[in-house]
Amino acid sequence: GIQVEQSPPDLILQEGANSTLRCNFSDSVNNLQWFHQNPWGQLINLFYIPSGTKQNGRLSATTVATERYSLLYISSSQTTDSGVYFCAVLNDYKLSFGAGTTVTVRA
Amino acid sequence: GAVVSQHPSWVICKSGTSVKIECRSLDFQATTMFWYRQFPKQSLMLMATSNEGSKATYEQGVEKDKFLINHASLTLSTLTVTSAHPEDSSFYICSARRIVLANYGYTFGSGTRLTVV
């Protein structure tokens, strides 16, 4: 099956800092989603982004499908941004998840 | 829009008993739902695909007789963990598929934390 790799595995930020999370995938995909899992386990969809760039507030994402990677940018990080960020790719009809990046934002 | 409700949020049961988890799409119809399992500090692993009106499709290594899935309507799928054992303790999450931007988008329930004692 398709392989999804995320980096870095862990990220510690000072409040107000910017960061970039990366997702590499091994094959062409129909779609790609970024999720934030909060401490209670709820997965919140951040972006549907099979290609191109999208922005939503302090978050933005870019997917370069031809080079098989996607980036998630967090600007001016806040403590509420803490949690695990997952990239998931859609191949055929199934979502395959990366291992996630655990982000800790310190006040 | 696109809300998926999952119940219960947490459950504790005794070894040998069965537990049912419900997943409902509240504001859209979902012909296909998915069940995932997540161990602490790990990623989500797909267990099975639930198809409305037909049998579920299980991933390799998932015991279909242990994890019974029923998708009787376009808005409800249930996962029953039968004869639960402590090793079944985990976080179970469902998702429902819908059309987004001419492609598929997935919305997730809030998860069920199962503890078998």
pLDDT tens across A7-66, in order?
999 999 999 999 999 999 999 888 899 999 998 899 998 999 999 999 999 999 999 999
Cβ pair B44:A86 closer than 8 A: yes
Q: Chain A within 8 Å of B115 (Cβ-Cβ)?
A: no
What does the pLDDT look like over B37-49, one tens digit per residue?
999 989 999 999 9
pLDDT at B100: 62
Measured between alpha carbons, how far is B92 from B79 in angstroms, rounded to an integer? 9
- Is the pLDDT confidence value at B112 over 70? yes
Please list every residue in chain B whose beta carbon sits closer than 8 Å to the beta carbon of residue A93: 32, 49, 97, 104
Which residue did the predictor score with more confidence, B55 or A106? A106
Measured in angstroms, the CA of B66 and the nearest CA of chain A are apart by 22
CB B52 within 8 A of CB B32: yes
- Is the pLDDT confidence value at B105 over 80? no
Query: Is residue A79 classed as helix, strand or coil in its secondary structure?
Result: helix
Q: Chain A within 8 Å of B103 (Cβ-Cβ)?
A: yes
What does the pLDDT look like over B9-61, one tens digit per residue?
999 999 999 999 999 999 888 888 999 999 998 999 999 999 888 889 999 99
Tokens representing B27 are 């504001």
pLDDT at A1: 82
Mean pLDDT of chain B: 91
Dihedral sign, Cα of residue A56, residue A61, residue A63, residue A64: positive
pLDDT at B99: 67
pLDDT band at B103 (very low <50, low <70, confident <90, very high): low
- Is the pLDDT confidence value at A68 over 60? yes
Cβ pair A42:B111 closer than 8 A: yes
**A67: which residues sit within 8 A by CB, 6+ positions away?**
none
Q: Which residues of B100-113 are buried (b: 16+ CB within 10 A; e: fewer)?
A: eeeebbbbbbbbbb
**Contacts with A, B 9-38, CB within 8 Å:** 32, 34, 38
Please list every residue in chain B whose beta carbon sits closer than 8 Å to the beta carbon of residue A41: 38, 91, 93, 110-111, 113
Measured between alpha carbons, how far is A24 from A65 in angstroms, rounded to an integer? 10
Nearest-CA neighbor of B110 among B3, B30, B1? B3
- Is the pLDDT confidence value at B102 over 60? no
- CA B91, distance to chain mean position in Å, is 10
* Percent of chain B whose pLDDT exceeds 90: 73
Q: Chain B within 8 Å of A51 (Cβ-Cβ)?
A: no
Phi, psi at A91, each rounded to 5°? -125, 125
Please list every residue in chain A whose beta carbon sits closer than 8 Å to the beta carbon of residue B110: 40-42
**Rounded-to-5 percentages of helix, strand, coil across chain B:** 5, 55, 40
User: Per DSSP, what are the bridge partners of residue A53?
Assistant: A62
pLDDT at B51: 86
**Contacts with A, B 34-93, CB within 8 Å:** 34, 38, 42-46, 49, 91, 93
Please list every residue in chain A whose beta carbon sits closer than 8 Å to the beta carbon of residue B23: none
CB B94 within 8 A of CB B4: yes
User: Residue B11: what residue type?
Assistant: V
Please list every residue in chain B whose beta carbon sits closer than 8 Å to the beta carbon of residue A97: 43-45
